Amino acid sequence: MERKVAIIGVGIEKAGESQVPSWELFASAAIEALKDADLHRNRVEALHVGNVYSAFTEMQTNIAPLMLTSIGIESNVAAVRYETACASSSIAFHQAYLGIASGMYDVVLVGGAERLRSISGTAVQEAMASSMDGSERSAGLTFAAYWSYVARAYARKHRIGDAQLESLLAEISVKNHYHGSFNDYAHFQKEVNVEAVLGSPQVAPPIKVMDCCPFSDGAAAFVLAAEDVAKNAKAPIWVAGTAQASGSYSASDRDDLSVNPAISVAARKAFAQARIGPKDIGVAEVHDCVNIHEVVCLESAGLFDEGRGIYAAAERETYFDGSCPVNLSGGLKSRGHPVGATGAYQICEIAQQLRGDFNGKRPEKANTGMTVNVGGTGTAVTVNIFRREE
């Protein structure tokens, strides 16, 4: 029989620029998570960690055992690194959940770490492009161009003019920067306005610089535990549903770029496990690598009807005091995007939101939270639902 699993401790490093290697950054987050869980490191039976680019940016592979050693865990526990582009650490979580639910482990340390700011932006872009279909990349498709295709497909489908599209997208960046301005761990802790977003340099029209998230250094970790351990924790946040799905690797094969069927499939499974529906979600962190993707996540996960998600920020529905608070961390746009750690940040932030100790804007009341973490051109997806039990 499947066992209940909970997050019992979290640790977050400030996203932005780090002078220390990713494994040391991760060790700091992991120690915070263990302290928060009030658990001795010797209780850790496995480490599941997300990291994508250490081979490119730090010339370091086999990073999971190195992270274990950096934490100070010298015992013979399992350690594995997951690489599924931007979804790496949430898939590390999904696998750790399965390990505990199956009875294999009682305590697993989970998280992610990335260091991207130590090399040139051009080199980072080249490394990130390796997460796309190689032949499409060679034929001129960039990530920015891909999200521009998505935005254009969305606008055509829902009959939104160019100027209105750009303005509505800008409202999403404004909203996420507003939330991020209250988050001490965010990469950019400052507000921006619509004019600044609209006036930022074009990258792949209609996508502009301020529609896109930054590349960040960062690390986040959490302690996942079986019910027998978690029931003694001070504030366990229970995993209510977790699902993973994969999208077609070639963007050219997809008929409709304005939706992501993999998100829909993962969301349906996660909601079924949790025995709730989209209206029960009190707070969400979703993957706004480019602001149009926040819309795709919201609609594909069922939080908004198709054609409605684009208006959510402008109508304040996704603000902290709105009907569906989204990305109160600032999202990837403002909190930052340490790629292999982003899913772990989302999970830690939702756990803190449900505990009521998130260091930033919080909804008035939320017992249930969701994360949507997506890698590549929508190819690797996890949807996770968490619950606080009264």
Partner 1 sequence: MDGTKTEESPRFYHCRNCTWKGASFRASCPLCGSFEMDFSVTSGKGRVVDLVPVLFPPKNLKNIGAYTSVLVRFEEGFKRFGIFAGAPEKLSIGDPVRIESFNGDTQELFLTNG
Pick from 72, 103, 134, 199 the residue near partner 1 by CB under 8 A: 134
Q: Is 42 in the site for partner 1 (CB under 8 A)?
A: no
Pick from 145, 194, 196, 276 the residue near partner 1 by CB under 8 A: 145
User: Does 337 qualify as catalytic in the annotation?
Assistant: yes
Q: Is 169 in the site for partner 1 (CB under 8 A)?
A: no
Q: Is 137 in the site for partner 1 (CB under 8 A)?
A: yes
Residue number, 162 or 228, with CB nearest to partner 1: 162
Residue number, 167 or 248, with CB nearest to partner 1: 248
Helix H, strand E, coil C: the string for the chain is: CCCCEEEEEEEECCCECCCCCHHHHHHHHHHHHHHHHCCCHHHCCEEEEECCCHHHHCCCCCHHHHHHHHHCCCCCCEEEEECECECHHHHHHHHHHHHHHCCCCCEEEEEEEECCCCCCHHHHHHHHHCCCCHHHHHCCCCHHHHHHHHHHHHHHHCCCCHHHHHHHHHHHHHHHHHHHCCCCCCCCCCCCCHHHHHCCCEEECCEEHHHECCCCEEEEEEEEEEHHHHCCCCCCEEEEEEEEEECCCCHHHCCCCCCCHHHHHHHHHHHHHHCCCHHHCCEEEECCCEHHHHHHHHHHCCCCCCCCHHHCCCCCCCCCCCCCCECCCCHHHHCCCCHHHHHHHHHHHHHHHHHCCCCCCCCCCCCEEEEEEEECCCCEEEEEEEECCC
Residue number, 110 or 128, with CB nearest to partner 1: 128
Q: Which of residues 192-251 bind partner 1 (CB under 8 A)?
A: 201-205, 248-251
Instruction: Give the shortest CB-221-to-partner 1 separation in angstroms.
Output: 33
Residue number, 19 or 125, with CB nearest to partner 1: 125
Residue number, 161 or 201, with CB nearest to partner 1: 201
Instruction: Give the shortest CB-232-to-partner 1 separation in angstroms.
Output: 48
Q: Is 159 in the site for partner 1 (CB under 8 A)?
A: no
Size of the site for partner 1 (CB under 8 A): 31
User: Does 289 qualify as catalytic in the annotation?
Assistant: no
- Write each residue from 111 to 130 as x if it is in contact with partner 1 (CB under 8 A), else as -, in one continuous string: -----------x--xx--x-
Instruction: Give the shortest CB-201-to-partner 1 separation in angstroms.
Output: 8
Q: Is 277 in the site for partner 1 (CB under 8 A)?
A: no
Q: Which residues bind partner 1 (CB under 8 A)?
A: 122, 125-126, 129, 133-142, 144-145, 148-149, 152-153, 201-205, 248-253
Please give the positions annotated as active site. Answer: 86, 337
